[in-house]
A and B are shown apart, each in its own frame.
Chain A
Amino acid sequence: MSTKDNQLPLWEVFIQSKSGNPHKHAGSVHASDKNMALQNARDIYTRRGEGRSIWVVLSENIAASAPEDEAELFDPADDKVYRHPTFYRVPEGVKNM
């Protein structure tokens, strides 16, 4: 086998397990278009009632942050303790807050 074979483009699959839940990444499939991607995702990731809704998106269309940027990207959140309720003092005796 010398000619390059084509396993079809890669799609990422997101599944909602039941109504009210967020769609969660389940894995990937290979497919030539949206419809095939949805069908393959159904066959591969929901054979036991794991889903009620599926999203598929071409893997190449996902932008992801780089692990080496982790510190820089998230440290602005580190010095803003006033975003948390525990930062505030509520007078003794005040209830239901």
Chain B
Amino acid sequence: MTEEEKLTRFNSKIDKEEKIEPKDWMPDAYRKTMIRQLSQHAHSEVIGMQPEGNWVLRAPSLRAKKILLAKIQDEGGHGLYLYSATETLGIDRDEMIQQLHEGKAKYSNIFNYPALTWADIGAIGWLVDGAAIVNQISLQRTSYGPYSRGMIRICKEESFHQRQGYEIMVTMMNGTPEQKQMAQDAMNRWWWPSLMMFGPPDNDSSHTKQSMRWKIKRESNDVLRQRFIDKTVDQAHFIGLTVPDKDLKFNKSTGHWDIGKINWDEFHEVINGNGPCNKQRLAHHIKVHNEGRWVREAAMAFAENETRTKKELVTH
């Protein structure tokens, strides 16, 4: 089959909503985009464990601690599913981690913000996981088979993440004036970065068009962002939280909430490494990774030794 025939076949698969599977022929640019997006998603899950991990030892009750641990463990699992899905495209996990450490691969900007109080754990689960869910539900229909299957699995696990976060916010909003203030403060700090999680507006998002054509992405950044806003504003109002946007207004003719201007300068500052925690997040990952090296080496040496002993037993 000529390259051209292969391409026609690939495109017709995409048009017919068929999934692209690891051994199928795909254009180089599709493979590259997929590796970039999938590995970035995997890194985000793993780096995202850090702000929450910061509160495991300070959780206010044993119940809260168990829930937070389970949630963080899920995120680690999400990272691992997604690394595996990326590996089906012909890149090793070693290489992905190296790209992360060298700053060549990115992770979600949102995790460069600190979790300052317990209310931040509530805000992260409710807003950050909430935004991630909107995005991931849409990605269940992505054209790459292993990514799509990973998203379906992840979405099943995510819904508890958002609920546990919202429950923390509800509890604090029913608490003392200081606790209410903490909840509102967390809302103020996490609201805008959560909206930025969907990426730049459609008219200056460089990747969107081709990704939509290939059905890697199924809905645009702005559509997904608006869906999240519409869901979340009501949830905030329901428990007495104020959305930190003086221009927020319900638009009767469209049926959507209109918001004020997003500060994209801040977004670019953080993406370019100047957020509050960029250096800390990466340094921590590198440190733990290097500290674990001897464990991986010892495990391999043990496994090799075991197989050698078994072989010797057989031959004697």
Asked if B299 and A36 make an inter-chain contact with CB atoms under 8 angstroms apart, the answer reads yes
| Interface residue tally on A, bucketed by range | 20 to 34
Most buried by B among A10, A28, A47, A64: A28
Q: Quick check: A67 and B93 within 8 Å, CB to CB?
A: no
**Which residues on B sit within 8 Å (CB–CB) of A95?**
none
Contact present for A33 and B73 (CB under 8 Å): no
Interface residues of B in 92-117 (CB under 8 A from A): 92-94, 97-98, 101-102
Whether A68 pairs with B1 at a CB distance below 8 angstroms is: yes
Least CB distance, A46 to chain B, in whole angstroms: 10
Chain B residues contacting A5 (CB-CB under 8 Å) are 94, 97-98, 289, 293, 296
Complexed CA–CA distance, A72 and B299 (Å) = 44
A28 neighbours in B (Cβ, 8 Å): 84, 87
**Cβ contact within 8 Å between A32 and B302:** yes
A1 in the interface (beta carbon within 8 A): yes
Residues of B within 8 Å of A48, CB to CB, are 157
Q: Are B300 and A8 in contact (CB under 8 A)?
A: yes
Interfacial residues of chain B within 260-293, with CB under 8 A of chain A in the complex: 286, 289, 293
A8 to B73, CA, bound (A): 20
Question: Which of A7, A29, A64, A66 has a CB less than 8 Å from the CB of B97?
Answer: A7
- CB pair B81 A44 closer than 8 Å: yes
Please tell me if the beta carbons of A7 and B93 are within 8 angstroms of each other in the complex: yes
A30 close to chain B: CB less than 8 A: yes
Contacts of B87 in A (CB 8 A): 10, 28
User: What's the Cα separation between A33 and B87 when bound, in Å?
Assistant: 19
User: What mask results when residues 54 to 66 of chain A are scored 1 for a CB within 8 Å of chain B, else 0?
Assistant: 0000000000101
Q: In the assembled complex, which residues on chain B have CB atoms less than 8 Å from the CB atom of A33?
A: 299, 302-303, 306
B236 neighbours in A (Cβ, 8 Å) = none
Q: Which of A6-31 contact B (CB under 8 A)?
A: 6-8, 10, 27-30
CB <8 Å contact, A44 and B296: no
Interface string of A65-89 (1 = CB under 8 A from B): 0111000000000000000000000
Whole-angstrom distance from the CB of B151 to the nearest CB of chain A? 13
B30 within 8 A of A: no
Distance A4 CA – B94 CA, assembled complex (angstroms): 7
* Chain B 250-265 interface 0/1 with A at a Cβ cutoff of 8 Å (1 = within): 0000000000000000
The answer for the CA separation of A44 and B82 in the assembled complex, in Å, is 12
Asked if B4 is at the interface of the complex by the 8 Å CB criterion, the answer is: no
Q: Which of A's residues lie within 8 Å of B, judged by CB?
A: 1, 4-8, 10, 27-30, 32-33, 36, 43-44, 47-48, 64, 66-68
Given contacts A5-B289, A7-B93, 10 further A-B contacts (CB under 8 A): A5-B97, A5-B296, A6-B300, A8-B299, A10-B87, A27-B150, A33-B303, A44-B80, A47-B77, A47-B157
